[in-house]
Amino acid sequence: MVEKTDGVTTVLHPDICVIGGGSAGLSLAAGAAAFGVPVVLIERGRMGGDCLNTGCVPSKALIAAARHAHAVRKAAEFGVSAGEPVIDFEKVHAHVRSVIAAIAPNDSVERFTAMGVRVIEAEARFVDRDTVMAGGLTIRARRFVIATGSSTIVPPIPGLADAGYLTNETLFDLTRPPEHLLVIGAGPAGLEMAQAHRRLGAKVTVIDAGRALSGEDPELARIVLDRLRGEGIVIWEHALVLAAEKTAGGVRLQCETETGSVTIDGSALLLTTGRRGNTAGLGLEAADVGVTANGIAVDASLRTGNRRVYAIGDAAGGLQFTHAANYHASLVLREILFRLPARENRDIVPRATFTDPEIAAVGLGEDEARRRYRQVNILRWPYAENDRAQAERATGGLIKIVAGRRGRILGVTIAGAGAAEMINMWSMAIANGQGLRHVRGAVAPYPTMTEIGKRAVIAYYTPLTRKPAVRAIIRLLRRFG
C-alpha cells in the first residue's frame, strides 16, 4: 500500500477501502487480503457490527437458552419428570455475553491487522468522488465499498420517545426479565424475541400494522403463528399503534384494531419495525452516491452512481441477512479482483426465522412463481408423515415445493423443526438449476427429517405409476423374464 505524507496529512492509496467492519465489510476485507490486495478497513464502532454484537449472535444465544427452558417444561411428554424451570436471567445474560466474547476474536482488529488489513478505528466521510477522510488520514483508493449496516426504523408514534423503548442495540443489555414485553413488529426478529422472552417467563404481546410474518407463505406462516399463540403470546395483526406513553409500571400503547380501540400496558417496549441502511455522516453527496428510502442506491452489480463505489449488505437497502451480506461481498470481490461481471440473484438467497417451529424459504413463493411462469406444480408433505418427527414429537410442520416445467425447482418453504438446516439442500439445488429428479435420486439416511422433502418429490412422480403407457412398458418387459 502506498502511503504518502505531505507534512500535514497522511494519504493512503490502497486498492480497496472498506467502510464498515460488520459481516459484509469483514468478509470482503478478508477475501481481498487473502489474495494479497492492499485493503483499508474503517470502522467507527465495534468490530463485527450488528450481527456479532447486537443481532444474530446474541439473539440466537438467547433463543438457545429459551429452548432449554421450554424443553424442561415439555419433558413430561417423554416420560421424564421435570416441572417449571427456574430462570436466572442474570446467568442467561452472562451466557449471551460469553457467546459474543467467544466469537469476537474472529472479527477483531488484531486478527485483521495480522491478515495485512490496515484497520482505522474512526468515522469515515467522503470529501469528493475519490477521497475518504478517517481518523486524520486521507484515503484515495481504486475502489470503495460501503458496508455500514443498518439501524432500526423508529416509527413516528406520538409519545414514543418519552415512553422509552428497546431496540436490538439495547435489548441484550437487560439483566432482569421484563414482566410484560410489548413488541411492535411481527416480522422474524420480533417473533423470535417474543417467543424467547415468553419461554423465559415474560408475558408477551406483539402488535403489527399488517399481517404477521408478512414476507412468508401464509399457509406455512400460520403453522408458526398457531404455535406462538399456543404458548401464550398475544399477537395483534392489522393493529395500528396510535400513541405511546410512559406509566408507573412501564409503557402504555393506544391501538386501533379491526375490532376497535385497545389499550395495552406493558413493562417494556421493543421495536422491531424494520431497518434502514446507515448513511448519515458518510458525505455521500460529495461522492455522487445516491440514497433511497431503504439505504444506498445500487444497481444489480451493487455499484452506486459513482462507478468506483459499491454498497453491500444492509447498507444497500435490500436483503438484510448476514449470509446475504457475505454473498454481496463475494460478488463485489469477484468483480473488483477478477473483472468478472457479477449480478445479484435474490432467488438463490435463503431466509430463515428461528422461532420454534422454524420457517425457512428459498426461491419463489407460490404467488410469484405463478406470476412468472403461470403453470406450476405445488408439492406438499406434512411432518406428521415422517418417522423422526413422530419420535421427536415435532409433527407440526409442512414442506411446500414449487416446481416448474420438467420438474425444475423454483422455490421451497419449510415450516417445522430444523427448517433452517433443511433449506440448505434446496438452496444448493436452486442455485445450481437442479430439478426434482436430482432430489429423487439422492439417498437420505433413515430416520431423518430430510426425508420429508424427498417424500414430497416422490409424490410428484406417483401419477406416472397409473399411466397406461408406463404400465404397458412394464408388462412388455415382464415377458422377458
Pick the CATH number of 349-466 from 3.30.1490.100, 3.30.390.30, 3.20.20.450, 3.30.465.10: 3.30.390.30
Binding residue per annotation — 367?
no
Confidence class of residue 7 from pLDDT cuts 50, 70 and 90? low
pLDDT of 291 reads 97
Mean pLDDT across the chain: 95
| Contact in structure between 57 and 106 (CB atoms under 8 Å) | no
148 is in an annotated binding site: yes
- The reported pLDDT for the residue numbered 476 is 80
Measured distance CA(287)–CA(167) in Å, rounded: 31
CA separation for the pair 456, 385 (Å, rounded): 11
Give me the pLDDT at residue 471, please.
Answer: 81
Distance CA 87, CA 93 (A): 11
Whether the predicted pLDDT of 207 surpasses 90: yes
Q: Is 150 annotated as a binding residue?
A: yes
pLDDT attached to residue 252: 98
Q: What is the pLDDT of residues 302-318, one digit of tens each?
A: 999 999 999 999 999 99
How confident is the model over 367-388, as pLDDT tens digits? 999 999 989 999 999 999 999 9
Q: Distance between CA 253 and CA 243 in Å, rounded?
A: 6
214-226 tens-digit pLDDT: 999 999 999 999 9
Residue 265's identity, in one-letter code, is: D
Q: 189 among the known binding-site residues? A: yes
* Average pLDDT, integer, range 101-112: 97
Distance of alpha carbon 330 from alpha carbon 17, whole angstroms = 15
pLDDT of 334 reads: 96
Fold observed for domain 2-47+108-152+276-344: FAD/NAD(P)-binding domain (3.50.50)
Decide if pLDDT at 227 tops 90.
yes
Q: How confident is the model at residue 2 (pLDDT cuts 50, 70, 90)?
A: low
| Mean pLDDT on 242-264 | 97
149 marked among binding-site residues: yes
The domain segmentation of the chain, as residue ranges, is 2-47+108-152+276-344, 160-273, 349-466
22 is in an annotated binding site: no
pLDDT band at 6 (very low <50, low <70, confident <90, very high): low
Region 296-302: mean pLDDT is 97
What confidence score (pLDDT) does residue 1 get? Answer: 62
Share of the chain above pLDDT 90, in %: 91
> Is 396 known to sit in a ligand binding site?
no
* Cβ contacts of 80 within 8 Å, gap of 6 or more: none
* Per-position b or e across 272-288, b if 16+ CB within 10 A of its CB: bbebbbbbeebbbeebe
Query: Is 188 part of any known ligand binding site?
Result: yes
DSSP 432: T
Binning pLDDT at 50, 70 and 90, where does residue 206 land?
A: very high
Q: Which of 13, 41, 14 lies closest to 29, judged by CA?
A: 41
Question: In this structure, what C-alpha cell is assigned to residue 37?
Answer: 490486495
What is the spatial order of strands in the sheet that 16-19 belongs to?
118-120, 39-42, 16-19, 143-146, 309-311
For residue 77, what is its C-alpha cell? 411428554
DSSP string, 297-353: ---TTSB-SSTTEEE-GGGGTS---HHHHHHHHHHHHHHHHH-------GGG--EEE
Specify the pTM.
0.94
256 assigned binding-site residue = no
Mean pLDDT across 406-424: 97
- What is the reported pLDDT for 463? 78
Q: Is the pLDDT of residue 9 over 80?
A: no
User: For position 443, what pLDDT does the model report?
Assistant: 94
Q: State which CATH number among 3.50.50.60, 3.30.300.30, 1.10.1240.10, 1.10.150.650 fits the domain covering 160-273.
A: 3.50.50.60
- Calculate what percentage of the chain has a pLDDT beyond 70: 98
The residue among 330, 314, 309, 312 whose CA lies nearest residue 32 is 330
pLDDT digits (tens, 9 = 90+) for 416-425: 999 999 999 9
At 3 the pLDDT is 64
d(CA 396, CA 332): 41
CA distance linking residue 401 with residue 325, whole number of Å: 26
- Kindly state the average pLDDT of the residues 23-27: 97
Residue 230 is labelled as binding a ligand: no
Say if residue 192 carries a ligand binding annotation.
yes
Same fold for the domain at 160-273 and the one at 349-466?
no
